[in-house]
Structure 1
Amino acid sequence: MTGSLITKKKIAKVFKKLVTDIGFEKVTIAKIMQESHMRRQTFYDYFQDKYELVDWIFQQEAIEKIEDNLTYEGWQVIVENLFAYFEENQIFYRKILLFDGQNSFQEYYTRHLKVLINQVLVVKYEPEDGIKESDRLFLENFYASAFVSLTTKWIVEGCKTESRCFAEQMKLAFLMGFKEKQ
């Protein structure tokens, strides 16, 4: 592991703890770096601001579960792993999701989910089915938006349904939507 990755992970770990303890809006770069025992400038060597840090954390921890596993795991396993991750990190993500500011986490999450949904569409609709590009894009947007909306609600309400059960419900919704071909 390179020194820069170690530094980024240390900053991210402190940031997650601070967000969990005091909330996203109260976390400052100065607090992060003071808690990390590093110079403030070190933060800016790696991240533009705390929004970019949130994106990096999500990319490193959650998106890895989606995009890096697409080639060797089925989409159902990826969905299960993603919800287990969110359940483990629910306090952090609840605080992030409750913050109404720039760089919406939901938009970022939606963008990455479209990759997973595209894989589901490829599996469900063979080339001979003749699904139009515009219909495929609509389905990607529709399912990504629904997925993000329900995930956000689940996290904000405290993950009352166990992640495994919630993943099963989400997979069922996908499968029901693709049950009948037109």
Structure 2
Amino acid sequence: MSTKDMTKTMFAEALIKLLNHVPFKKITVTMLANHCRVPRQTFYYHFHDKYELVHWIYSSDLNKAMVENANESWSKVTYLFFQKLNEKRVFYKKVLIDSGQNSLLEHSQTYPANLFLASLSQGGQSPVLKDLQFSLNYHAYACSNMTRHWLLSEPDVTPEEQNYRTLRAMPQVLYNELNSYREKKQV
């Protein structure tokens, strides 16, 4: 892990610890820097604000599930991501309460769609068909809101069940394209 990633991870761990005692809205950059025993400018070197830190945590969790399981089926990758969200449910519940500008909800609606669009474009689907792009964006918005609902209010629903629900609701054309892309990468 690079020094830059270690510093980002240090701030992520500080945020998670502070959330045990302080509501997300009341956590400041100064509190994070003090917890890490570094100057505030160190935080600003890596992140614009605490929202960007939350986005980085979420994006890192998603990227890790995708990269570490590049040879797995699409359904396995999504299951592993839901499992990671569930493991960090306490954290995600505390940051998902906020749904305004720069919120994690807003980020989770756009980041995965952009990531998958970029992957599909690199996989020979360039340019990505407008219908496929619409399906991807539509599903990303629905999935992010339903995942938020799951994390905030359905603790008895397992990651397996949430994954099944999400994949069953995915437009078939999108599911086929994502699986096709993953199969091409494995060859």
- TM-score tier by shorter-chain length is 0.7 to 0.9
- TM-score (norm: length of structure 1): 0.79
Tell me how large the CA RMSD over aligned residues is: 2.7
Measure the CA separation in 1 of the matches of 2:17 and 2:156: 22
Relative distance call for 1:165 and 1:119 in structure 2 (3 A) is farther
Which stretches in structure 1 are left out of the alignment for 5+ residues? 121-126
Deviations 1:86-120 (A, max 9, x none): 10111111111111433132232122332448979
Q: 1:145 aligns with which of 128, 141, 146?
A: 141
Relative distance call for 1:61 and 1:46 in structure 2 (3 A) is same
Q: 2:167 aligns with which of 163, 166, 171?
A: 171
Confirm whether residue 156 of structure 1 aligns to residue 155 of structure 2.
Answer: no
Which stretches in structure 2 are left out of the alignment for 5+ residues? 174-187
Deviations 1:147-177 (A, max 9, x none): 1111010011153201122212222223xx4
Cross-structure match for 1:136: 132
Measure the CA separation in 2 of the matches of 1:18 and 1:108: 22
Confirm whether residue 86 of structure 1 aligns to residue 108 of structure 2.
Answer: no
Residue identity matched to 2:65: K
Measure the CA separation in 2 of the matches of 1:111 and 1:70: 22
Cross-structure match for 2:53: 53
Report the CA distance between 1:20 and its aligned residue: 4.0
Measure the CA separation in 2 of the matches of 1:111 and 1:161: 25
Confirm whether residue 63 of structure 1 aligns to residue 59 of structure 2.
Answer: no
Confirm whether residue 73 of structure 1 aligns to residue 67 of structure 2.
Answer: no
- How many residues are aligned here? 168
Relative distance call for 1:118 and 1:150 in structure 2 (3 A) is farther
Report the CA distance between 1:46 and its aligned residue: 1.5
In our comparison, the structure showing a higher alpha carbon Rg is 1
Measure the CA separation in 2 of the matches of 1:101 and 1:167: 26
Measure the CA separation in 2 of the matches of 1:20 and 1:99: 16
Measure the CA separation in 2 of the matches of 1:162 and 1:147: 16
Measure the CA separation in 1 of the matches of 2:165 and 2:107: 23
> Contact 1:117/1:143 (CA < 8 Å) preserved in 2?
no
Measure the CA separation in 2 of the matches of 1:13 and 1:50: 13
Relative distance call for 1:3 and 1:178 in structure 2 (3 A) is closer
Measure the CA separation in 2 of the matches of 1:87 and 1:20: 17
